[in-house]
Structure formats: C-alpha cells, structure tokens
Amino acid sequence: MLSQTLFSYVPQISAIFSFWNLLGLAATLLYFFWWRRPHAKFPPGPRGVPLLGVVPYFGPSPGVDLKKWSVEKYGPVMSARFGRDEVVILNTFDAINQALVKQSASFSDRPWIELFCGLTKHDGLVLMKYGDAFKAQKHFALKFLRDKGIARRQIEDVLNDEGDRFVEFLKTKSSGPVDLKTYFYWLTGNVISQTALGKRHDYGDKDFIELLDVMRMLFTDPRDATNIGLINLFGFLAKFPPFATTMKRFEGRMQFILDKMQDNIDDHKKKFDPNNIDDFIDAFLYERKFGKRTDLDYSDTHLRAFCRDLFVAGSETSSTTLSWLILHLLNYPEYEKIIVKEIDEAFGSEGLPTQSKKEDLPMTCAFIQETMRTKTLAPLAVLHLASNDTQLMGHVIPKGATVIPNLYGANMDPKDWPNPKVFNPRRHIDENGKFVLSNKIIPFSVGARFCLGESLARAELFVFFVKMLQKFRIRPAVDPIPSISEEVISVVVSPVDFKVTLESRN
C-alpha cells in the first residue's frame, strides 16, 4: 500500500526535478554566454551582472570609475559590459593616441548613439559614419573654418570686438551679483553664430536667449543631467522610466535647436548669392550647387545637423570652460595677482589681447591649461566603433566593438601628471619660466574625430579670459565660494551655478 502511494507521486517528483534541472541548465547557459569574451586576447575587465552589465557599479562619474578600475586591476586598455554590449575603454594618453591617431582607420567609425541618433541618425559630421564621404566633408569644413572662420588675424578681430561688447554689457550688470555662467553662453554663442549662421545678436535678443537657454539645458538641467549621462553610455535605458521622461525632454530640446537651424537654412536659401559667401551655411549651399563631389550628402537634414553640431559644441565647450576658469580663480586667488600682472605688462588696460604675445603670459596660459586638464568637459568623449578586427597594445579588438576614449583618464593619469588631482598650474612652466604646451592634455580629443573648433575654442579662452581680467576684479558674491569639486555631471561636466561681483579696474 505504501509503495503504491509513493509510486503515485513519481511523476510529480520527476516534474519537479526536471524543472530545477532546466532552471539550472538555463542559469549555466546564461552564465556561460554572459562571461565568455569575444576573443581570447580581448581586453580584461568587469562583466557586471547579466543584462545590465556594469551599470549598477557606476557612481556619478563613470570616467572616474573606469580610470580607477584601470589603475587598480585591468590596465590602460580594458573592457566592460555596458548592458549587453562589449565596450573597450582606453584610459591613458598612450592608449588613446595609439588607437585614434596611429590606428585611426580602424577606430574612427561611430556606433548608433541613442541619445543623438534618434532624431538625426548619422547626419552631421560628429555622428557621420567614417569613410571617404566623412573625410571629404571634414576637409570641406576645416577649409572653410581655416579660410573664412578662424584665420588667426580675422578671428582675433572678431573675438576682441565681441569681447569689448561683452564687457560693456557686463558693466550694466555690475551693481549686483552676476551669473557669468549664463552670460558666457551668450558670448560664445555669438561667436559661433557669426561663423556658422552669418549673424550677430544683441545680448537682449529674446529669440537668441531662448535658443541658448534651451541649448544650455540640454546637459545641465538638474532633473536630467545624471540620466542624460547614463543614456549616453547605455542607450537601452532610454526606453524605461524614469529615463524615458528624460529622453523625451532631451529630444524636445534638440528638435527645437534643429528647427532653429532649419529656419536659418531657409533664410539663406532665399538670399543665396554665389558671389557672396559669408558663413558656413552659404559655403554648404555653394557646394550643393557647384561642388564637384556629387556623391556627398548636401541635404537640408544633413546641413541642419551639421549646424547643430557646430552651434552646440562651439558654444557649450568654450562657455563651460570659461565658467571653470572663473571658479578656479575664485578658489585659488593666489594666482590672480600673477596673472593680472602679466596681463597689465603685456596689454595694459586698453590693449587688444593677441595670441602672438602668449610667451609673455606663462602663468595665464598655464592656468588655462591646468583648468582644462583637471576639468575634462566631455570625460568619455563621443563613442567610437571598431570598423575591423585589429590588434591594440597586445589585445584583439573585434569589429563592431564600441570604443570609449576616457579623456578624463588621460588628463588625470598619475604617470604623466604626478598628484593629478592637485590643481597646480606651475607644472606647465619650465625652469626658465616659459609655458609648456602639452599634447597629452586632450580636451578636444585626437585623431580623425578631433573637434573641428579646437583652434577657435583655444583662441576664445585666451582672449576672453584675458579681457575679463583686464577690465574687472572678479569676487565671489556669496560665502562660502562654491567648491571646484561640486559638479553637474552629464555628457558634459559643468560647474554648479554661482554668482560673482565685478569691480571695474579702469
């Protein structure tokens, strides 16, 4: 009787064992597929947890975490699972230079970046797929910027004129606390507007201010900044709350900017004169009509994305770096006297700042360079894609792998910069008191994808920083002064909001 009863439970017991066996097999297969690597010589690195990868292990600044993992365990070329994607991270200048410069043909493609490609796909030079068409349009853009937009003599005239207008504007605001962070967008936005769109705006122009405010909020909205940074790395998050809400706001702002660029394109098409090419849109329209390369994309959708790239990058990087310069000056006042003395001796109170006199301002140049080293604006740059199987520093990088140049890791590498977290401009001045320009500080990236506006941005930083200190004593409006360790971390690293008082030196 008992044996019959036990025998009746055999099918149920068997089913239970079968369920657990299947579950164990599934877990084993998941573990196997998750932990296997694309190649025996694929760079080492953490795998994280199934489906999410290393997402749960990141703090507010992924570049800092990746550099830490690199130094402590994995080396300059490492890997990590970002969601389900295999990602290779380059954490030193040597690794970045080897990949992006010496092996540029293999590491200059772009993956699908959900944050930016959703609206414009691969339109615009920043997101364009690497190949002959990219090289041709990059050459076209560089030639325009060199010949029309950033020829050294011409751009210094433009920058000094805009700087003088900006100073006069600030004088009307100097009776109380001033938000330089916002006003710097107006300043640098006007420079790129003249270069790309052929027009300058008064500082009270409401439409211009609205455009710049929308642009500024792309990366600094306190509701969305952290989420934007994560979506940039882990595109799949954009489909899930609360990231979906962030993505909707981001795309709404990006669409607003694209629409404004299209309005400018439409105006240019109505007034187009092939004998009067004044700005980038004119030059692009000229190439569309008269250019010899018929295989290139000269569509409006490509042009508006191109203009967006110029406008966002051109105003964001310079304005944010200027804000960091002022905040560093407030936190390290011991350098102000040295810098002001250099400026007074080189230019006096009314002389026009020119880069030809940089040799006479070693501390000024060193202060700017050290700020750019310690505050990498885009710590993880823009994602790259390996276009073929290739070897890199003893590792095999398979075709299709996403590659991240950790610019923060390079700029803060203890091998190149002893005590890298210490702000020390004197490290850029040699024993003869001369400023040493370093090619290992790469805020604008390197290789085929380096920032087209690098020359313009460097000129802006020098001229505008010098002109500000030529005309004003800049003091904190509140006590305590915001710390330089306080950051708004998104795709771009910005200082927190702060205000200053401006005391005229003239």
Tokens 């099918």 correspond to: 11
Give the C-alpha separation, 291 to 459, whole Å: 31
Asked whether the predicted pLDDT for residue 6 surpasses 50, the reply is no
Pick from 170-179, 254-263, 371-380: least confident:
170-179
pLDDT tens digit sequence for 12-31: 555 555 656 666 655 555 55
| Per-residue pLDDT at 32 | 53
Tokens 């959708």 correspond to: 301
Q: Which of 314, 225, 234 is nearest to 58 (CA)?
A: 234
| Per-residue pLDDT at 149 | 54
Q: Which of 293, 326, 286 is nearest to 496 (CA)?
A: 326
Average pLDDT in the chain: 91
Question: Does residue 58 sit in helix, strand or coil?
Answer: coil
Asked whether the predicted pLDDT for residue 164 surpasses 60, the reply is yes
Tokens 């002001």 correspond to: 340
| Per-residue pLDDT at 29 | 52
Pick from 22-36, 57-71, 90-104, 445-459: least confident:
22-36
What phi and psi values does residue 166 have, to the nearest 5 degrees?
-65, -45
Asked whether the predicted pLDDT for residue 153 surpasses 60, the reply is no
Asked whether the predicted pLDDT for residue 294 surpasses 50, the reply is yes
Q: Which amino acid is at 394?
A: G
Q: Is 309 left (phi over 0), alpha (psi -120 to 50) or beta?
A: alpha
pLDDT tens digit sequence for 332-360: 999 999 999 999 999 998 999 999 999 99
Q: What is the band of 209 on the pLDDT scale with cuts at 50, 70, 90?
A: very high
Q: Identify the H or E element spanning 502.
A: strand 500-504
Tokens 């087209």 correspond to: 452
Question: Does residue 414 sit in helix, strand or coil?
Answer: coil
Range picked from 5-14, 61-70, 350-359 for highest mean pLDDT: 61-70
Give the C-alpha separation, 464 to 318, whole Å: 10
Asked whether the predicted pLDDT for residue 81 surpasses 90, the reply is yes
| Per-residue pLDDT at 4 | 55
| Per-residue pLDDT at 51 | 82
Cα 502 from chain centre: 29
Cis omega before residue 242 (within 30°)? yes
Share of the chain above pLDDT 70, in %: 92
108-120 average pLDDT score:
96
Q: Which of 66, 60, 70 is nearest to 228 (CA)?
A: 60
Q: Where are the domains of the chain?
A: 62-504
> Topology of domain 62-504, per CATH?
Cytochrome p450 (1.10.630)
